[in-house]
Structure 1
Amino acid sequence: MSGAGRSARTRPLLAALAGLVALALSLGGCALGPVVSGSDPNSGVADDFDPTQGVPAELQQFYGQQLDWSDCGDGADCAALTLPLDWSQPQGDTVSVALARKAADGSGHHRALVMNPGGPGAPALQYATDKSYRDYFFGSALQREFDIVTFDPRGVAGKSTPVRCVDAQQMDHYLYDLPAAPRGTPAYIAEAEASSKAFGAACQANTGPLLGHVDTASVARDLDVLRAALGQPQLDYLGYSYGTRIGATYADLFPDRVGAFVLDGAVDPSLSAEDMLVEQVGGFESAARSFLQNCVSNASCPFTGTADEAATQLAALIGGLDQHPLSVPDGRQLGSDTMVTAISSALYSRSQWGALARAITSVSQGDARGAMALADQYNSRSADGTYEDNSTEVLTAVNCIDLPADQTPEGVQRLNERIRAAGPVFGQFQANGTAMCSGWPVPPTAAPHKVSATGSAPIMVIGTTGDPATPYAWAQSLADQLDHGFLVTNVGEGHTAYNSMASVCITRAVERFLVAGEQPADGLRCE
């Protein structure tokens, strides 16, 4: 497979896996201010709840299915949900979606809170089955009041019907091999496009018809069957990053079934693939500047001078790896593209800035191991050369089917110019970023569009001002699009805001809203 794989894989939605990279741990708090009461969410499910009421006859077998829960360790239960492969042909083939549930700690009947950590392609079962994950990502109030339910969306490997593309060795070539042609040349672009086409062909050959049905709208429809199978007239939902796209799509399709919804690290569904990539490059550029500003104030920083001077030095270090890549003991080489992956991985959380500074220092001294470890973390690659999941395959498949991109020479040139302008440090290495979908074997099924969820209950949208992966402007836009959306702002660095160790202000706002339906005052900003 072509060595331009990493460039080809640069994509509109970077791997925003809200559990694989630690979230920002800012401990600042703020006063919630006056609380505005919203409609109190369901405290229980009526005994006569009929999950098939109003459901078309051809879908009743799915909405009426009974989940067969069985113990899967650490106090959790697991089950599988059967769903149509193609929602437009529900009498055809089916897929299986794996579920996990941890019953609420409190006594009595409890609502179910469904959570998705992002991706696309992030495995999610461990957020319910592993106590360390539960305690980190759900505060005690949520664990006490809700049955925590997670699911591996269609396509995610594990126990759901998976997308399959290549083996581990081929994935190494796709992600880490160096391009043969000089960066930015027509030969370089052609190499990246050929790599993407070959990867897509492998996905089609090894996945089959599912490859055309992993779109976000299909996942949102799956989510409504899960709601019914859980015995819930309305869905209570906590979505991070790409999980906000699932949640917003669900709310737009089923506004009357929206219960308590929190969308943290919001994706803007109205953006094109090109606009999304440009704004995300700008987000990582801004996060890198914050890192460099902090770095140059420390004696151990590998850069000297001002933050602007450090940015120039960083760009030169990255670019130099095109001509002089560094090897690691397993034979792989650290080139510019993989170095950008390493930096991006660490910029998801301020807590990783120290590791990033050490990795950059080592690279400047000829040692690539620390940087390669950060890139491996981002790519879910284990030290033994295996991959922990199929997140690369799913992420590519979902983005290519959700977000059509202009692959004409004129469109590619226009995008490259915009990307370079958006990121003086990263832009030159992210150019040709939509090539991952070049020659993709199944056509897009969606297009950028605004969502309104007219008639829904209030929906909390959280944005972090220094979020590199889902820029703050996306949260502002989504909250504005939703008829009953409201924005909560986390002032800080890192990707997503809520968890039991994050901002006390955010934690309180989220938990009061999910548990009791209490909306914070308009314009809440958590410093």
Structure 2
Amino acid sequence: MNIVLKGAIGALALLPIAPAAEAKPPALAWHDCADGLECARMEVPADWAVPSREKITVGLAKLPARDQARKKGVLLVNTGGPGEQIPILRQGKKYFADLTEWFDVVIFDPRGFGSSSRIDCPIPAPSATEWVFPNKSAYNAYAAKNRSFGQACAKAAGPLNGNLNSWQIAHDMDAIRAILGQKRLTYLGNSHGTALAQAYAELFPRKVGRMYLDSVIDHTTTSLRTWLERRAKVLERNFGRFAAWCQSTATCALHGRDVTAVWDEVIATARRRPIPAPGAGPDVTINDTQIVSRFHVSNEAAWERLAGGLAQAASGDASFFAKVEGVPDPDLSRVFLCADFPYPGYDRLKRLETALRRDTRHIGWRTVWPMAYHCAGLPPTRTWAPRPIKAAGLPPVLIANGEHDDNTPPGDGRRLASVLPGARYLPAVGGHALYLTGHPCVREHVHRYLTTGAMPPRGASCGPAT
């Protein structure tokens, strides 16, 4: 994102610490923490730029390999977020069970979360009922609330204030690698976990063993428009897929109609005058930005309901779009996210929306706004903003993105594979988190790579999960 954007959140370049001879750290004191997990805590600097100052703790959990005598080592995992990780391992052990044939699977709560030195923000982050801000006054009102949240959170952060970004966590990851006795890091990163991986690969390329990156969020592109266009195009294609499904599916509420024309008319109507939503109350109306925000077209499981809601709105009742779906991110997540991807203000975003509407006019242009929901008004902090990556000595990395994922689009994975030496990109038909959602073809390639180093053959791809 010119995400070291001119005039964006005050970015402070953080420089890698000069390498030194690695002292052997003390062993971790693992203890049983229920559900088949072992837990431990370790101490790391609050700020790796000045490691002699305050210390914090990082909490870890381990799902031990089934046969300790035959295991291949340790696999460090981050499933994304940014957010608490250990409960994901605890509640979703089945997703990692295959990996315990070969590895101790270790996961850690990032600094600020869960069992690590935790930040409890004294006021909650603001929430909005739509991703797309209808006008500048609405954006400014939201930004003011988000600024108050960020300022209060910064005061509560203590030594972690300004030290929540992927540069810091990459150093935490290297400390974890060392304390686990691993000469090189074996890593599985999903979603935001791939941003951590990109920081680690740049800072410690020769300490990487094998890395599988799933649903990559590209941290190497400095053009915000380019970065957003990838998302916009996938979202627009998903709208096209929805329209085609409706044409071929007799149970679709819009079957036999021009879905695109219906959409255009509903949006134009709601823009001129919000559509009544009597099912939500006698005075409730729904405008165009609310419909665009709540039309979750990338979720194929929702297509039947979306078609029904759109047909209902076309008849003058937008009650379906009065419902707000989805779970908000943890408050602290936005602080991390916006330190890794600083974002500009309303005027520039509105110009980008206008530009994206030329090629993705139905819904793809919406992708300009979700990051603004997180970042609008947050106070300046030290950032680790996107930059061209340099990773001399990095071994080959395996990368896969879902072709229908507009959150972390395939263009992000292809971009990263093109700039990492020896990396291999595996196209796959699917959405977000291919490995963790059980895509069998992807999992087969990942297991082979992590255990033997063998990449998928050039030109290999994975079709839909069955």
Q: Tell me, yes or no, if structure 1 residue 284 matches structure 2 residue 284.
A: no
Q: Supply the RMSD in Å over aligned alpha carbons.
A: 3.5
Q: 1:437 matched to which residue of 2?
A: 375
Residue 159 of structure 1, aligned match among 103, 110, 115: 115
1:228-251 Cα shifts (integer Å, max 9, x gaps): 111111111111111111112211
Q: 1:114 matched to which residue of 2?
A: 76
* Residues 1:497 and 1:298: Cα distance change in structure 2 (over 3 Å): same
1:360 and 1:371 in contact (8 A); partners too: no
2:232 and 2:360 in contact (8 A); partners too: yes
2:277 and 2:318 in contact (8 A); partners too: no
1:265 and 1:463 in contact (8 A); partners too: yes
Equivalents in 2 of 1:341, 1:189: separation in Å?
A: 15
Following TM superposition, by how much is the alpha carbon of 1:354 offset from its aligned partner in structure 2, in angstroms?
4.6
Q: 2:415 matched to which residue of 1?
A: 477
Q: Tell me, yes or no, if structure 1 residue 447 matches structure 2 residue 389.
A: no
Q: Tell me, yes or no, if structure 1 residue 83 matches structure 2 residue 83.
A: no
Residue 496 of structure 1, aligned match among 424, 427, 433: 433
Q: 2:96 matched to which residue of 1?
A: 138
TM-score by length of 1: 0.73
Q: Tell me, yes or no, if structure 1 residue 515 matches structure 2 residue 465.
A: no
Give SS of 1:261's match.
strand
Give SS of 1:461's match.
strand
> How many residues get paired?
439
1:315 and 1:425 in contact (8 A); partners too: no
Q: 1:424 matched to which residue of 2?
A: 361
Residue 90 of structure 2, aligned match among 129, 134, 145: 129
* Residues 1:177 and 1:251: Cα distance change in structure 2 (over 3 Å): closer
Following TM superposition, by how much is the alpha carbon of 1:221 offset from its aligned partner in structure 2, in angstroms?
0.9
Equivalents in 2 of 1:273, 1:161: separation in Å?
A: 34
Equivalents in 2 of 1:334, 1:209: separation in Å?
A: 44
Q: Tell me, yes or no, if structure 1 residue 194 matches structure 2 residue 194.
A: no
Following TM superposition, by how much is the alpha carbon of 1:290 offset from its aligned partner in structure 2, in angstroms?
1.9
Q: 1:461 matched to which residue of 2?
A: 399
1:106-152 Cα shifts (integer Å, max 9, x gaps): 3515211111111222x22134323xx122x2362x22111111112
TM-score by length of 2: 0.82
Give SS of 2:67's match.
coil
Which protein, 1 or 2, shows the higher relative CO under an 8 Å CA cutoff with sep ≥ 6? Answer: 1
Q: 2:163 matched to which residue of 1?
A: 213
Equivalents in 2 of 1:313, 1:161: separation in Å?
A: 52
Equivalents in 1 of 2:172, 2:131: separation in Å?
A: 39
Give SS of 1:227's match.
helix
Residue 175 of structure 1, aligned match among 120, 128, 133: 128
Q: 1:312 matched to which residue of 2?
A: 264
Which AA in structure 1 matches 2:128?
Answer: L
Which AA in structure 1 matches 2:32?
Answer: D
1:282-332 Cα shifts (integer Å, max 9, x gaps): 332322332332234333324352342354256458758956567869x99
Equivalents in 1 of 2:418, 2:131: separation in Å?
A: 43
2:163 and 2:382 in contact (8 A); partners too: no
Give SS of 1:247's match.
helix
Following TM superposition, by how much is the alpha carbon of 1:265 offset from its aligned partner in structure 2, in angstroms?
1.1
5+ residue gaps, structure 1? 1-53, 380-390
* Residues 1:174 and 1:230: Cα distance change in structure 2 (over 3 Å): same
Q: 1:5 matched to which residue of 2?
A: none
**More deviation, 223-232/360-369:** 360-369
5+ residue gaps, structure 2? 1-17
Query: How many percent of aligned residue pairs carry the same amino acid?
Result: 26
Q: Tell me, yes or no, if structure 1 residue 96 matches structure 2 residue 57.
A: yes
